[in-house]
Structure 1
Amino acid sequence: MKATIYDVAREAGVSIAAVSQVINGKGKISEERRAKITEVMEKLGYRPSVIAAALTGKKTYTLGLLVPDISNPFFAEIARAVEDRGDHHGYSLVICSTDNQDERVERYLTLLQQKSVDGIIIGTGIEDIKLLEPIRSKSIPVTMIARALPGESLQTVVVDDYEGGRLAARHLLGLGHTALAVLAEHPKVTSSQERIRGFRETVAEAGLSLPDYFVKSSGRELVKDGKRNASELLRYAERPTAIFCCNDLLAIGALQAASELGIHVPSELSVVGFDNTILAQVTVPALTTIAQPTERMGELAVDLILQKNAGQPDEPPPLRTVLAPELIVRQTTAALLR
């Protein structure tokens, strides 16, 4: 049978109240007694009931994370970073994949409220901002990660997507490419919008243009969409010699398209991805990409939630934390052959 608080109290020779105080980190208990109770809890495998804690309004030591698709390696790495940081502080994580659909966002937010999570980290797009009102009314801490909600006063941890687009453009322009194209995510994805803006403006500064028909948007099936859109671009009479992809999955689709069309990467086509997921290291050839500091992003998002739960610090953190991207040059980019 599962150990109860009564079993812990009896084994440790203390009152139930003393065990409860150790669990909740309250009360004046000597370090010796606290250590004894903790030792007995570990010995018996006792774990406080999250449900009971929720019903009494106490911390459940649970966080919620909403991402578009946990099968996307970038969001899997974000989830792992959040989980590791939460675990370091004694928190468990509930992960929800939304497919960027408000209907699913609403359902999961309701579920997380019912579970009385101590905070919610949102890495998915939300079109109807009113979905957040029930969370705000209950003062549940919320932090955005890898996504921003323009006009909303929410703590946000993002990479500088605009600068990431500029880094990709500078790299390709420096290699002599002038016929440039972009594979984008869904038009409503704010991070993708910023990456394209940075790329487009840098290309314009070089005296070149990025025609609208050289910018292709995708849906949910990123690899498949990337392959289809890249195939279309590469069949143009005057095709691009370099493609900037707004994530690594789209870049993999572009590499597949080039392979099927007999176009060699990188001597005939350069490809740059974004995110620097594990996939970027195992593609053939290995993918040049813009890295996001996923581990640091996860740490900061969790720390912001915990700071809110602990009360306002003397100097509150900035509402928007922007981290620097990094160009990782591998084997899918090369100088343009004249």
Structure 2
Amino acid sequence: MKKYVTMRDIAERAMVSVNTVSKVLNNKPDISKETRERVLKAAKELGYIKNVTASALRNSKTKIVGVVLEDTTNLFFAEVLEGIEAAARKYGYRLILMNTQTNLEKQKEAIYTLMEHRVEGILITPTGDGTKDLRKLSEMNFPIVIVGRHLEGLNLDEIHSDEIKGGYIATKHLIEKGRKKILLINSAPKNSAAQMRCEGYRKALREAGIILPEDYIVITHGPNMEGGYQGIKQAFDKGLDFDAVFCYNDMFAFGAIRALRDLGKRVPEDVSVVGYDDVTFASYYCPALTTVRIDRFGLGFNGFKMLLEKMRNRRKKTKHLVLDVELIVRESS
């Protein structure tokens, strides 16, 4: 059985030529009103779906953009994707989404697959320092925008949040609450967001005259909530004495709070916790999570607009857009 209705099927039903069907479906003017209505009626009855891929190949414009994200199970990336999708709909583009699961080989495969499908541009949150594949795209002058990361040495468009400020205001808040032994549960150091949030954390500690051993920066590689849970376990296993935790993201924070509860600690009475991102679930968690708010929708929407400028050749110079952040104080601190 054929999966799709063809122009030939419509032509047989409407008793016209395939060429006539093509003209009607492509809204050509030299067709009579009666013939046009008969063809459109036949197309509707048969359930015809236009083959936009074939049209795109003929016109060398697919109107498709590739999106490569680290982990779509993370609420942060899901909400960034909402912004990308909204912009794509507004400007008449479709998306192909690829998930790398923070794996460099999967990132390479994702980019190759998108190029096979002739996407017009790519929005990507790179994994670690995986710049090799991106450098090739840059040399090809292929439209690409880095979303949520900053990569040194690459002349590519970027949009990300003010991560240093985010790490700073989160840590300063905990210090102002009287906390002095602040644990940082961070992501892999090759992640630029992790590097900059850690820089902000260190800056706030320095300004307050607080000196902590390097052990107070715990690097965890577990995905999402598991990463935060394991980060707390690592700190306890090392015998660290801490009264606050600043987490790389909200997902880590949720896991950290669960681990603290399992270890008999109260949040925030015994240990204050601050997350990062302000995903939708953060205000509904118990206790409601204090966190650094990022404009996730704006990252996606404005990132797509930056890419659109490149795809339409309206801008030659590289653009680097940094979005502001703010601290949202709730019950966990």
Smaller-chain TM-score range?
Answer: 0.7 to 0.9
1:95 shift after superposition: 1.2
Question: Following the alignment from structure 1 to structure 2, what is the Cα–Cα distance between the partners of residues 283 and 97?
Answer: 27
Match of 1:129 in 2: 131
On the 8 A contact 1:54/1:115 being kept in 2, the answer is: no
Q: Calculate the TM-score normalised by the size of structure 1.
A: 0.84
Which structure has the larger Rg? 2
1:114 shift after superposition: 0.7
Match of 1:328 in 2: 328
Residue 56 of structure 1 aligns to a residue whose secondary structure is helix
Match of 2:101 in 1: 99
Residue 216 of structure 1 aligns to a residue whose secondary structure is strand
Structure 1 residues 127 and 17, CA gap change in structure 2 (3 angstroms): farther
On the 8 A contact 1:153/1:319 being kept in 2, the answer is: no
Match of 1:336 in 2: none
On the 8 A contact 1:63/1:119 being kept in 2, the answer is: yes
1:85 shift after superposition: 1.4
On the 8 A contact 1:183/1:226 being kept in 2, the answer is: yes
1:166 shift after superposition: 0.8
Question: Following the alignment from structure 1 to structure 2, what is the Cα–Cα distance between the partners of residues 51 and 178?
Answer: 59
Question: Following the alignment from structure 1 to structure 2, what is the Cα–Cα distance between the partners of residues 101 and 165?
Answer: 25
Question: Following the alignment from structure 2 to structure 1, what is the Cα–Cα distance between the partners of residues 91 and 51?
Answer: 18
Unaligned stretches of 5+ residues in structure 1: 334-338
Where in structure 2 are the equivalents of 1:1-338 lying within 5 Å? 2=4, 16=22, 20=26, 47-56=49-58, 58-125=60-127, 127-136=129-138, 138-234=140-236, 239-313=241-315, 319-333=319-333
Structure 1 residues 151 and 135, CA gap change in structure 2 (3 angstroms): closer
1:50 shift after superposition: 3.8
Residue 246 of structure 2 aligns to a residue whose secondary structure is strand
Question: Following the alignment from structure 1 to structure 2, what is the Cα–Cα distance between the partners of residues 238 and 108?
Answer: 41
Structure 1 residues 54 and 127, CA gap change in structure 2 (3 angstroms): farther
On the 8 A contact 1:185/1:192 being kept in 2, the answer is: yes
CA RMSD of aligned residues (A): 3.1
1:274 shift after superposition: 0.5
Aligned residue pairs: how many? 319
Unaligned stretches of 5+ residues in structure 2: none
1:92 shift after superposition: 1.6
On the 8 A contact 2:80/2:298 being kept in 1, the answer is: no
On the 8 A contact 2:69/2:100 being kept in 1, the answer is: yes
Identity %: 28
